[in-house]
Structure 1
């Protein structure tokens, strides 16, 4: 039984330009891994969350080591 679509999210810090795309494997969100309340780079709370684009999902699948490198 499918409960619903699992979303891929892109988090962007508006203070320091940190960015990461998360692709949860299930429906559980893990703070600091698949969900962010504060920026891990600058500890700022000025984060924007949006649904990841197809290109961001593709890059995350091909280059998972690049996560958060921008």
Structure 2
């Protein structure tokens, strides 16, 4: 049975952009739960590392808040 990836922090060494993603399943969605290029500068070599507990928790709360806002806007 596939398992979701652990919270991951993606960062761009060129411009400093970073984002922590918390995938809810084994499906990764480009531009939402996974990035192959920096959305800010287009640099293709992003650094990936497992997020620490606090940044993973903050990212999960942010994702839930974004979902709540979208549902509320309808």
**Cα deviation, residue 3, structure 1:** 3.6
In structure 1, list runs of 5 or more residues that go unmatched.
66-70
After TM superposition, the score normalised by the length of structure 1 is 0.77
CA root-mean-square deviation: 1.7
- Select the structure of larger CA radius of gyration: 2
For the residues of structure 2 that align with 1:15 and 1:50, how far apart are their CA atoms?
Answer: 16
Q: As a proportion of its length, which structure holds more helix? A: 2
How many residues in Structure 1 have an aligned counterpart in Structure 2?
A: 63
After TM superposition, the score normalised by the length of structure 2 is 0.74
Q: Tell me which of the two structures has the higher relative contact order, counting C-alpha pairs closer than 8 angstroms and 6 or more residues apart.
A: 1
In structure 2, list runs of 5 or more residues that go unmatched.
64-74
